[in-house]
Structure 1
Amino acid sequence: MQDLKIIDQLDMKGQTNAGSANKWGNRLNLELILILLGILFIAANLRAPITSVGPVINEISDSLSLSPAFVGLLTAIPLISFALLSAFAPRVARKTGLERLLLYSLMVLALGLFTRSVGNVPLLFIGAALIGAAITVGNVLMPAYIKKTFPNKVGIVTGMYLVSMNLTSALAAGFSIRIGQVSGMGWQGSIGIWGILAVVSLFIWYPQVKKSPVITAQGKRTSSKALWKSSLAWNIAVFMGLQSLLFYCLAAWLPTILQSWGMSPDRSGWMLSFIQMAQLPIMLIGPILAARMKDQISLVWVTFILLMLGLAGIIFGKTSFVIPSVISIGISLGLAFTLAMMFMVLRTKTTSESAELSGMSQTVGYIIAACGPPVFGALFSLSNNWYVPLALLVVSAILLLVVGLTSAKNRYLSE
């Protein structure tokens, strides 16, 4: 992630951690509450627009006569945006300011969500691209904003941020079918309603736009040539990509798989929600555990074992063991995401190294992840059964173990 560079430039302009601490450290007032609400509402927008698609992907495919591989692009397009645009968000923020760019991203997000739900094939994918661009800004800049505004409460506020993001994501998956039924708008209502949340978030965030000056300082960039030649860096980047691929394949296709095996659409959406909710506790305690260990090899093994147990439960048990299976997968993917984030900190000695590694991992990782949903759908189209694409997830889990064990060793990029 590029947020570390942004933080450095904020400090250069006088927005120091000490100043922020003096401002917020000893009091709780309406202004602080509004900032926290703004952070939580923005976080709520960062996954729900993607996870709301999975439960209704069959309806979208049937309504617009799209092939499984083609409709899988709905999930892949935002990931492509993450990969292509992440490096540009900090540069734009230096000209507009963090708060203002986040406001603009909410505007674009609302537009994308409403556009995607019109029911027209070109607009469906144009909306998906706008959504991806908007979420990219939030993904990159929100950690920097938290660090800047709550330097002494980063852990607590980051935990709240992650819980908001993942809880809303779970609710989006669980209620997607029901929202379409209650609204009478079908899949268009299921994926379009989140535009309302984006608009509400926009108004909640607006008061923050006028509080901070625009940052124009240009930080010195560290050369990344050596990084791209580092085997450790590539292992971490691939780990990031594989855990994202696993999550987004399941987000896009698990409800459809379960529906084809006889589960109701509403219940299948809740299975995806259980994956989301199972991640919440581990995302709070995982960073603490990883930071206290000499290496994270044992955590990588736990991730792999839980993931394989969950996938085996789905492949061999189908709907019979689906609840314990998705909970096992959820804990595993939550731990994998936590490890991906921690490797970027624990395997680097300096801020610039960490920023460069984060940028590389995000770019490579989301390119890998973006391939997942459409390839998964294409494998189903070619084989006409779910076992072949599910085998892709098993292979991905094995590769995750291999690169994870290398990434988890106690060493640094510069060694």
Structure 2
Amino acid sequence: MIAILLVALNLRAAIASVPPLTDVIAADLGLSAPAVGLLTTLPVLCMGAFAPVGPLATQRFRLDRMVAVSVAFILAGTAMRIVENVHVLYASTLFAGVGIAVAGVLLPPIVRARFPSRVGPVTGAYTSVLIGGALLGASLTGPLHSGLGLSWGASLAVWCVPAVLGLTAWLLRAPPAPPTNATRTRWPWRDRRAWAATLFMGTQSLLFYTELAWLAPRYTAIGYGTATAGLLLGLFSLTQVFSAFAVPWMAHRLGRTGPLVALCLVPTTPVLLGLAYAPRSLAWVFVAVLGFGAGGLLALALTIVSGLGRDPGYTAAVSGMAFFVGYLISATGPVLGGVLRAATGGYEAVFASLAALSVVVLGLGLLAGRPERGHPSRP
């Protein structure tokens, strides 16, 4: 369990540590705005494009060994950033992105194999740590650079330390419980429940990434200072940590995920409408509720994916499909939000569209969370 949590700690920190230093990096390396944006976009694209690599590789290698290799990629990618060179920086980002993609896909089947009766609680625990890693990366990298006087390369390379801890713990963990490989695994392209889980993963991620991209600009556009907007974004991330941990535990106790999907989304819809048409009224409450819903939805999506299929091998295939299709769907969210913003001249259409999307996500979540016939429903 400790090894799983330490691996999860590395699944967002390498991505979240870059934005606080983008201005410094751009000035030092002479990068354009699109080139800087690629530093944060590239890992997200890797999370989708390289998602099938994990299940395919486990047809020849054990799941636990592939997790070790993926964490080693994250370690190499973050450590390389100490070299302040533009080519090394992009190569390091690619290395870390591939490692994050493969490790993220393989954790659900590992959880399914090691904790078959506790999938929901364990998924909630590692999801909250994953989000906490992003929060640490975003909040501590700036102070490491400005407060301790580290170079930007050293400030980014510091995040190889959690990767060292994660890799060490993973190599020292107890032997995996069989079965932990994906030999003779069929891909779930014709499985309706796998598609429901995939679309739920994709649409809830689209909801999250669009909120993340446009939440702070929404408030600076109506006169809030950048510092206040940053605090609101921090609250958005902080509440995700708690809901990502608590909601899957509640689903485990309840024995099904559907009511918890509703718990996350029913308050989210009016909050998104509030952000569209009355953002000043309850700004801090709006953002806290939005974060609660986002964290809970991610954990529930991973819980549903982890519980699909009759064995960890099939779970790995479903996970690869869900991440591959899901993250390609989610990558369109911020761009489409920008298109709406440019077309309408405001943010009302952006957040009103997200409110409509939340209803679709609710339907997909309820459909994906229905128990399989002949299988226990407890997540």
TM-score where L is the length of structure 2: 0.76
1:199 aligns with 2:164: yes
Q: Distance in 1 between matches of 2:179 and 2:309?
A: 26
Please give the per-residue CA displacement for 1:191-211, whole angstroms capped at 9, x wherever unaligned: 4432333234344444459x6
Give me the whole-angstrom Cα distance separating, in 2, the residues matched to 1:216 and 1:291.
23
> Is the CA contact (8 Å cut-off) linking 2:9 and 2:130 kept in structure 1?
yes
2:321 corresponds in structure 1 to 360
Alignment of 1:47-58 (within 5 A): 47-55=12-20
Pairing of 1:292-303 with structure 2 (within 5 A): 298-303=259-264
1:226 corresponds in structure 2 to 190
Per mean C-alpha deviation after superposition, the further-off stretch among 121-130 and 261-270 is 261-270
Structure 1 residue corresponding to 2:45, chosen from 65, 80, 84? 80
Name the CA distance, whole Å, in 1 between partners of 2:126 and 2:88.
31
Give the distance between the partners of 1:269 and 1:146, measured in 2 at CA.
34
Letter of the 2:138 counterpart: A
Contact 1:56–1:187 under 8 Å retained in 2 = yes
Aligned ranges 1:8-407 → 2 under 5 Å: 36-55=1-20, 64=30, 66-67=32-33, 71-93=36-58, 95-115=60-80, 122-148=87-113, 157-184=122-149, 191-208=156-173, 219-222=183-186, 224-227=188-191, 230=192, 233-252=194-213, 254-255=215-216, 258=219, 268-290=229-251, 298-316=259-277, 318=279, 321-344=282-305, 350-351=310-311, 356-376=317-337, 386-387=347-348, 389-390=350-351, 393-407=354-368
CA drift at 1:328: 0.5
Residues 170-193 of structure 1 deviation map (CA, whole Å, 9 limit, x = unaligned): 233333443332144586566443
Say what the alpha-carbon RMSD is for the aligned residues: 4.3
How far apart are 1:365 and its partner, in Å?
Answer: 0.8
Name the amino acid aligned to 2:14.
Answer: P
CA–CA distance in structure 2, aligned partners of residues 115 and 307 of structure 1: 40
Counterpart for residue 16 of structure 1? none
Name the stretch that deviates more: 356-365 or 308-317: 308-317
- Measure, in 2, the Cα distance between the counterparts of 1:219 and 1:90: 9
Instruction: Tell whether the 8 Å contact from 1:233 to 1:413 is kept in structure 2 after alignment.
Output: no
**Which string of whole-angstrom CA distances, capped at 9 and with x for unpartnered residues, describes residues 87-118 of structure 1?**
22244345454444333323321332345576
Q: Which amino acid aligns with 1:337?
A: L
8 Å contact kept, 1:314–1:321: no
Take 1:262 and 1:62, find their aligned partners in 2: how far apart are those partners? 28
Structure 2 unaligned runs (5+)? none
Partner amino acid for 1:401?
Answer: L
Query: Residue 132 of structure 1: CA displacement?
Result: 1.6
The amino acid across from 2:161 in the alignment is: I
Distance change in 2, residues 1:235/1:378 (3 Å): same
In 1: Cα distance, 2:336 partner to 2:300 partner: 25
Change (3 A) 1:273 1:408: same
Q: CA separation of 1:154/1:382 partners in 2, compared to 1, >3 Å: closer, same or farther? A: closer
Q: Mind listing any 5+ residue stretches in structure 1 that lack a counterpart?
A: 1-35
Of 96-105 and 332-341, more deviation after overlay is shown by: 96-105
CA contact (8 A) 2:232 2:284 kept: yes
SS in 2 for 1:226: coil
Equivalent residue pairs, number: 373
Q: In the alignment, is the contact (CA less than 8 A) between 1:173 and 1:269 conserved in 2? A: no
Task: Give per-residue Cα distances to partners, 1:239-298, cap 9 Å, x unaligned.
Answer: 210111222334455456555666565654443332333233433443354456687554
SS of the aligned residue for 1:221 comes to: coil
What percent of counterpart residues are identical?
A: 28
Indicate the SS of the match to 1:340.
Answer: helix
| TM-score (normalised: structure 1) | 0.70
Is the Cα–Cα contact under 8 Å of residues 241 and 364 in structure 1 kept in the other structure? Answer: yes
